[in-house]
Amino acid sequence: MACSPQLALQNSYLSYYDVCLTAEDVKSLKNDWLTDNNIAFWEEYLERETLSRYPQAHIVLLRPSMTFLLMKEPDARLVRSALPDFNKTTHIFLPINDNVSPEKPDAGSHWSLLLVSVLDGVAFHYDSMNGVNYPEAHFATRKLSEMLGRPIKFVHLEDCPQQANGNDCGVFVCLLMRHLLVKRLLNANAREKVSMSMGGKMVDAHGGRKEMLRIIENLRKEGERRRSATRYGPATDFDELLHKIEMERLGEKLQKRKSKIRQAKLNGESPGAADGPPPETQRNIDLEARARTTTASRVSSNKQAAQAKIMERKLRKARRKADRDRFFGGTEVRPPTTRSSSRVQNRAPTTRAATTMTAPARQASAKRKSDTQSSVDTPTPRRCTKSSK
């Protein structure tokens, strides 16, 4: 349903392609029955964000207004001209409402979902309130069969998830539609039969409302951002525009100053009296004005300066550590911990420098060691004496 200009100016909350959501639609989405616009927006969103990624799929999400036209308009030619072309269509989703009065579009009180498999000639009906919309869904199946020119079998699924209150039927329709579209049709193997039963499926209606509201708010913020970018341009273009305006003002001031100097020379006056500030002062003014137009660049330079200070601080810290290591010989004195204090007290602390010796000292130590070893290991020779007879 297209958004009229009057509605767009007065009460529009979000304009999303062919759907225009109002503030009343968003309010009803929070804790009330879903309107035709809510369901039409959900179908539009699924087509743009999900179906567009599957160009080989030929699935139609019929809008609530088109379903109502199919059920209530007696002229078949008018209905066929309003409906899309179903020649290559494999599946059709139809939101069913129990409204019986064409003069009152909002007279209905319950929503249900009808999924028609054109390939198999079967229509599956999902009703979250014990089959309240059974007659309307059966009638819509018969009318669609006439439009397609082929018989369609109507199947009412008894295992459809049931709502816990009286106002979540529209939310159930939206969530079941997405589940059947994504999980059962788009991501299924084409060579296998897909079960359309919803037995054991849990539907979180409260979470579904919050998700739909979040999607609407995100789309609205994205639209405001695009409109702002279209109106004012990117930030770089805005900075360039400010710089251009400032330079034009400086040029005008320069021309006025030159004209004053020329007039003062013609009148015989000193140029300094009509010139205003001296050239050096004017140059400083020009530099200050130019600096005001480069706010973004100054912010970035401040960030770079802060990063440079951090790097300089780290470099000074590293230098101090290197100087400390050179002064103390690369060792770091730490107090003994409680666990190893007894071991430290029982043995003398040693360092690498204490065990090093010069070459002569090592030779003398090795000689003393060899002498000691020889004195210990070499047995004392016995003296042989002749026995006196």
Looking at the annotation, which residues are catalytic?
110, 127, 169
Tell me the HSE value of 142 on the side-chain side, using a 13 A CA sphere.
8
At a CB cut-off of 8 Å and minimum separation 6, what does 65 contact? Answer: 1, 36, 40
Instruction: List the 122-126 sheet strands across, edge first.
Output: 59-61, 91-97, 111-117, 122-126, 153-156
Nearest to 152 by CA among 190, 113, 114: 114
Contact indicator for 188, 18 with CB cutoff of 8 Å: no
Alpha-carbon distances of 246 from 7, 205, 220, rounded to whole Å: 42, 57, 35
What is d(CA 44, CA 177) in angstroms, rounded to the nearest whole number? 12
**Please, is 110 exposed, middle or buried when counting C-beta atoms within 10 Å of its C-beta (0-12, 13-18, 19+)?**
buried
Alpha-carbon distances of 105 from 57, 98, 109, 206, 355, rounded to whole Å: 32, 11, 11, 26, 101
Neighbours of 161 (CB within 10 A): 17
List, in sequence order, every residue forming a beta bridge with 96; answer none if it has no partner.
112
Phi-psi region of 17 (alpha: psi -120 to 50; beta: other; left: phi over 0): left
Structure tokens at 296: 């973004």
What is d(CA 341, CA 335) in angstroms, rounded to the nearest whole number? 9
Helical pair 235-267 and 295-327, crossing angle rounded to 10 deg: 110
Q: Using the 8-state DSSP alphabet, how is residue 293 labeled?
A: T
Structure tokens at 47: 């087509």
